[in-house]
């Protein structure tokens, strides 16, 4: 608690864009999954894959969703394996080109673009 009207919360990394201070009127105690939602499946967390040599987390590129130029530098919207579409991130092309299956990702993206432009979807 910062004062009687404001509280600072420890937010997960996925919410890093939010300011961590909230008015206490906006906060409520956590209520576990209500009975009316018991049949709704709880999403599973993606499996963490660790690099054998460094022990760091590996993130696998599933597909390329969009392409853009930002300050004349190419970027790709990357869908990561095990994460939903809204967790996709914009990555600079030189970083993504290092992926072992870059050519397959690019070919798949171009194929989907051709289908979309020809009205196949």
pTM of the model: 0.52
Instruction: State the average pLDDT over residues 87-91.
Output: 87
For the chain, domains (ranges, CATH) are 6-31 (no CATH), 59-117 (2.40.50.40)
Instruction: Name the pLDDT band for 69 (thresholds 50, 70, 90).
Output: very high
Q: Which residues on adjacent β-strands are paired with residue 73? A: 70
**Residue 72: pLDDT band with limits 50, 70, 90:** very high
CA 76/CA 89 separation, integer angstroms: 8
Give percent of the chain above pLDDT 70: 78
- Judge whether residue 114 has pLDDT over 80: yes
DSSP letters, 43-60, are PPPPPPEE-TTT--EE--
DSSP H or E stretch at residue 116: helix 102-117
Cα 28 from chain centre: 26
Chain centroid, CA 91 distance in Å:
12
């Amino acid at each position: 608690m910062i004062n009687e009207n404001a509280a600072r919360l420890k937010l997960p990394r996925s919410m890093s864009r939010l300011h961590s201070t909230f008015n206490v009127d906006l906060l409520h105690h956590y209520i576990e999954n209500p009975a009316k939602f018991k049949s709704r499946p709880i999403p599973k967390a993606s499996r963490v894959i660790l690099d054998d040599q460094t022990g760091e987390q590996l993130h696998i590129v599933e597909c390329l969703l969009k392409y853009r130029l930002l300050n004349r530098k190419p970027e790709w919207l990357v869908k990561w394996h095990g994460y939903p579409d809204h967790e996709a991130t914009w990555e600079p092309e030189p970083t993504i080109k290092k992926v072992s299956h870059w050519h397959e990702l690019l070919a798949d993206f171009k194929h989907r673009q051709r289908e979309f432009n020809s009205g196949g979807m």
